[in-house]
Chains A and B, each alone.
Chain A
Amino acid sequence: MNVSALLGVQSIDYVALLPVLLTAGGALAVLLADLFLARERRTWLVWGTLAVLVAALIAQIVLWSERSAAVRYTFCVPGVPGAAPPRSLLPCSYAVDDFTLTLQTLALAATVLVVLMAPRRFDVPFGEYHFLLLSSLTGALVLVAARDFVTVTVALETLSLPAFALVGFGRRAGGEAALKFFLMSIASTAVMLFGLSLVYGATGSLYFSQVYGGLLRAATLGGAPAQLAGVGAVLTLVGFGFKISAVPFHFWTPEVYAGAPVPVAAYLSVVSKAAGFAGLILAVALAFQPYAHSLGILLAVLAAATMTVGNVIALRQRYAVRLLAWSTVAQAGYVLVPLAVSKSSQVSASVAYLVLYAVMNLGAFAVVSAASGSGAGHLPSGGELAGYRGMYRRRPRSAVALAFFLLCLAGLPPGVMGLFAKVAVFKAAVTGDLMWLAVVMAVNVVIALYYYLRWAAVLFDVSMFGAAQLTAGAPAVVAAPVRARTALAANLAVGIAFALAVVLSFWPNPALDAVSHWR
């Protein structure tokens, strides 16, 4: 094979790349628009960002409508001229299949909600904020479509680097949180790159399909290459473990979420986490499949530790954002469960859980973000749980929505959506002969009920105001329910998330069957 066949111009399918190109181009356009826009018109940037995201979602719809024809592959290494094998057998860097489309749509829609949920008087530089958000999203979109480890690594860094700066926009401890996030992230990336170098050494390729073949060969031959590849695979998973905040790599999560602006915390907990899971799923299901059995045991232990630690520590949290942070750690444990089953057919349960989790978690963050801010009746940086006492009086609709999202996260009716998600994961664990993990998960679901329900109950606790009204005539200045105003866009975000949660509670099939036919 000559050099230009390997390194030369690869054919590029621009339609397949359209969502990524629109997002990346939109990021630049927003940054440039900020430079030439008068200060008082900077709210236009929000609508510009939303327009970019909607355009990318329309491109997604086009790709969805034609997905049944054939999977689109692009950035393929051209084979030897004359003996052209079918596209699906060539090593390709980018694929648009059910998995890619589901998670790209999830990331785009979630970012729409993140942009909308900005609190009133959001104190960040608008141009840079939206530019960084769209840049990070570009990384997420490429990561879920990547089919080789170089693209995965570059996309993971494109996802992470803007996120550090976004965290730094937090007003109270943003700088410290950003530094912690940065240091933890580069350490995990270094470990991951070391692992990848071992995998490359043992298999001679970084394309998923060829790593699969190489590992199969190494596993049958045994000896040093097989050991090297095994160590490499485990170290590679560490990098993703950090992104999804699985338990030994979760320490940054509560600090960073609490230090970051609330919408950025929502972004990290949904888009960044979903992208990290996408990388993990791709690596485990496509590349490291020959080692699925031993990696499965590792992932099962990781899942059990993650959900247990997350739930137990969440019990003692007093701040809303910190509680949500530990809750996302615990939820990541549930998503890991189907991956521990060493059959790739169980991947659909993980993806379904991710989609349903994204809706309910974004909803909860949207309410917290709308309630945060400065001024009367607002809770700075999400506030303490005590600040939500009697929220039903001040903002009945927000309180009902938040209670619904919390019930979804807990998996209780009427939030049946969360129940469907948990049942799908249970089913995967039971069919995969992981009974012990199913039991651990059941215990954890019960532990989690306590803190979700406690918060939901506080919302409707009117005892404080009831007492004030009994002492008629007394000036109840402090306790008087302040009808706080929230930004229109933030309420819109809550409304959209609520509508999606209700629809998915009645009809969860789009999420549950999204990738059921994926390899």
Chain B
Amino acid sequence: MSDSHDRDNNTFFEPLKQIESPASLRAANRAAITQALAQARCRPTWPLSWWQHRVSVPLPIVAAVLAVIGLQVIFQVYALRKPHQSPVPIAREAPSALTAGGREEEPSRIRYQQKSVYIAGLGTIYSAEFHHAKEM
């Protein structure tokens, strides 16, 4: 237990080496070891103990957080896909074109609309909509 080259001849604490352990010490230590061995036998072995110590406690927390994020994503994507109803009527383009036969042709314009929604933790989701806006 000791280094021979670095042994100190300090005699201050020499009497402390004479301290004897009481007779009850060995019995108490044996009892503690026996109890600990029995306790160790009841403990689960490797995969189960690893699961119980490392996974089982944080798993419900992680699952709950993932569920909340998933629901948020689903709701936002669903809201993007809903058909957009513009509250403002599309303005009529003027003047209307006349065909050679005197028939008024309904001009058709392609309108492009882009929407973006920011979802925390994911970033911005863009959606583009193309629709024909026919002039009245």
Q: Check if A and B associate.
A: no
- A-contacting residues of B (Cβ < 8 Å)? none
- B-contacting residues of A (Cβ < 8 Å)? none
